[in-house]
Structure 1
Amino acid sequence: LRKTSDPEQEGREAVETLRVLNNNVVLARDEQGQEVILTGRGIGFNCPQGQRVDPALIVRVFVPADGRATEHLAEVLALIGEEVLRAVVIALREVGIEGRESTRPTLAIAVADHVVAALDRAARGISIDYPLGAEARTLYAAEYAQAQRLLAAINARLGPQLDHSEATALTLHLVNASFMSGDLSFTYTMTGVIQQMLAVVRERYGLDVPQQSMSAARFITHVRYLIVRVQQHQQLKGHESTIGKSIRTHHSEATRTALQLATIVELRLGQQLSEDEVSYLALHVARMTMEAESAEV
């Protein structure tokens, strides 16, 4: 989806109601014939199928893109409530995660859906000890910092107050959204793979690799996008790659480690890594271990 919060720019055109989800959410068809989700207080009241939607009631327009299931997202939106959705959209914009024109409205929907459940838990005095708290803080430091600011902005607008541990869940949603993945299972898998890889490097070299180091951060980022390439069947390929051969020649020990890491990917994701992918993994391993060894001297 893509979204606009300004009905002066989009949504003022005539749109025909396809389905009313509730008084505040309507599935409609625009003049180009594509399905859109409209939100706004009272937008679905007395608006039967086939009727034109009053443009003055439109607050947000969600437009399908990338094959997203528009009707399913409309159903999720209908369960969220306008107050929570509005608070989340404003909070995302306020902390700089989303601008006025959102390119990832599914993030707003996912976060708002999570916040609804979190508010219910908070009201009942139920807290969750998220198992990936340490991983979120170390593997996804930038997203975790954003999540903390986002949580504070949400708490400033909604009650009861959400616990600081919710920053972990928000972090995973931010990471997931950066890859346009459909659900959090992708992020859970990726987190596990990265942790296993770092454990192999530590054990093989007997090093305490600081995850906040520049080389470790680059390694983590590389693996994140490597996993995306594997999932999308777009691995780096070119068996006669001069760069790949050079890496394998000059970093033979790191290459052996990279082959171990490739086995993790194959076991967890069911795909064998190409020679070039193994070579670039080896390069990052070499950089990471050299930096760690220099720090110990």
Structure 2
Amino acid sequence: MKALRVLNNNVVLAREENGQEVILTGRAIGFSSRPGKRVDPALIERVFVPVDGRDPDHLAEALALISQDVLQAVVSALSETGIEKPDSTRPTLAIALADHVAGALDRAARGITIDYPLRAEVQTLYATEYAQARLLLQAINKHIHPKLEASEATALALHLVNAGFVSGDLSFTYTMTGVIQQMLAVVRERYGLDVSHDSMSAARFITHVRYLFVRIQQHRQLKGQEVALGEGIRRHYPVATHTAQQLATIVELRLGERLTEDEVSYLALHIARMTMDADGTAA
């Protein structure tokens, strides 16, 4: 691999023989690298490959701002918890988590504490990621000092959720969290349901909506099944369909994206399941 840009002593932007731009990290790797020259492979500790059209220069710059010790702590923790494989080349999650941990350590050093207001929502809507985040926090704390507070698991969980989106921007995850809560509130008020993630149907609904947001963000909404699917759902579940149309309006207002008829039909189906689980009757 040949160096394209030396970001600092520990980070180098390089190009593989196939033309792929990659980000290399390693202690003192930048000290002995020069643009256009071959990078000493013995100095390479990690290779990160930008994907989904992410800008290699931007990612390399972000990585260069993070302490090598913090980055290594996060990479090791991701591997130890099984969230990512030891040889993973995905840069975005590691960079986002390392940047957060670096900021948390800086706040701790200055005696600043943050109360995360979304803790209840994260525990309810993203139970799997929250459980992973608690394990991840324990693993990270084995490699850093001072130790991070337990409340940081909320922020780490949001980063794990955000890893499913192309943008890498947490603002979309915050918006998604608020919209899901709003959608659940509509279902709760219309049907008088105790919408809890402990309910299998509610958990399925939350999972479906999360993937719906991924499809919206990637401009890949479901479509093409409307005639067969939609007519049957509207006929059997008219009230659930009406509720689903209300939820679609919320999504359009909050995200500026109109849902396809197929997406509305699937929302109606999940709403119907929740009501049937609650009282054993059709929606």
Aligned with residue 267 of structure 1, among 217, 233, 253: 253
Unpaired runs of at least 5, structure 2: none
Native 8 Å contact 1:209 1:292 kept in 2: no
What is the TM-score with the length of structure 2 in the denominator? Answer: 0.95
**After TM superposition, where is structure 1 displaced by more than 6 Å over at least 4 residues in a row?**
none
Q: In the TM superposition, what is the alpha-carbon distance from 1:99 to its structure 2 partner?
A: 1.0
Aligned to 2:39: 53
Aligned to 2:52: 66
Secondary structure, counterpart of 1:88 in structure 2: helix
* Distance in 1 between residues matched to 2:3 and 2:265, nearest whole Å: 54
- Aligned partner letter, 1:270: G
Aligned to 1:229: 215
Native 8 Å contact 1:38 1:61 kept in 2: yes
Q: What is the percentage of aligned positions where both structures have the same residue?
A: 74
Native 8 Å contact 1:241 1:276 kept in 2: no
Native 8 Å contact 1:28 1:35 kept in 2: yes
1:171 has 2:135 as partner: no
Aligned to 1:290: 276
The superposition leaves residues 251-290 of structure 1 with CA deviations (integer Å, 9 ceiling, x where unpaired) of 1111111111011011011122122111110110011122
> 72-81 or 236-245, which moves further after superposition?
236-245
Aligned to 2:200: 214
Aligned to 2:266: 280
Secondary structure, counterpart of 2:13 in structure 1: strand
1:110 has 2:115 as partner: no
Aligned with residue 72 of structure 2, among 82, 86, 101: 86
Query: Which structure is richer in relative contact order (CA contacts within 8 A, separation 6 or more)?
Result: 1
* Distance in 2 between residues matched to 1:173 and 1:131, nearest whole Å: 15
* Distance in 1 between residues matched to 2:272 and 2:67, nearest whole Å: 50
Secondary structure, counterpart of 1:178 in structure 2: coil
Q: In the TM superposition, what is the alpha-carbon distance from 1:233 to its structure 2 partner?
A: 2.4
Secondary structure, counterpart of 2:219 in structure 1: coil
Unpaired runs of at least 5, structure 1: 1-14
- Aligned in 2, Cα 1:77/1:240: closer, same or farther, shift over 3 Å? closer
Native 8 Å contact 2:137 2:153 kept in 1: yes
Native 8 Å contact 1:104 1:177 kept in 2: no
* Distance in 2 between residues matched to 1:241 and 1:280, nearest whole Å: 13
Aligned to 1:137: 123
1:201 has 2:201 as partner: no
Aligned with residue 247 of structure 1, among 233, 237, 250: 233
- Aligned partner letter, 1:115: V
Q: In the TM superposition, what is the alpha-carbon distance from 1:48 to its structure 2 partner?
A: 2.6
* Distance in 1 between residues matched to 2:19 and 2:216, nearest whole Å: 35
The superposition leaves residues 23-68 of structure 1 with CA deviations (integer Å, 9 ceiling, x where unpaired) of 1111112222232111000101142322221111011111232211
Q: In the TM superposition, what is the alpha-carbon distance from 1:239 to its structure 2 partner?
A: 6.5
- Aligned partner letter, 1:164: A
Report the RMSD for the aligned CA atoms in angstroms: 1.4
* Distance in 1 between residues matched to 2:182 and 2:19, nearest whole Å: 48
Secondary structure, counterpart of 1:241 in structure 2: helix
- Aligned in 2, Cα 1:170/1:42: closer, same or farther, shift over 3 Å? same
Aligned to 2:11: 25
Q: In the TM superposition, what is the alpha-carbon distance from 1:242 to its structure 2 partner?
A: 1.4
> 100-109 or 283-292, which moves further after superposition?
100-109
Q: In the TM superposition, what is the alpha-carbon distance from 1:236 to its structure 2 partner?
A: 1.6
> 220-229 or 110-119, which moves further after superposition?
220-229
What is the TM-score with the length of structure 1 in the denominator? Answer: 0.90
Native 8 Å contact 1:210 1:292 kept in 2: no
Q: In the TM superposition, what is the alpha-carbon distance from 1:209 to its structure 2 partner?
A: 1.7
> 237-246 or 194-203, which moves further after superposition?
237-246
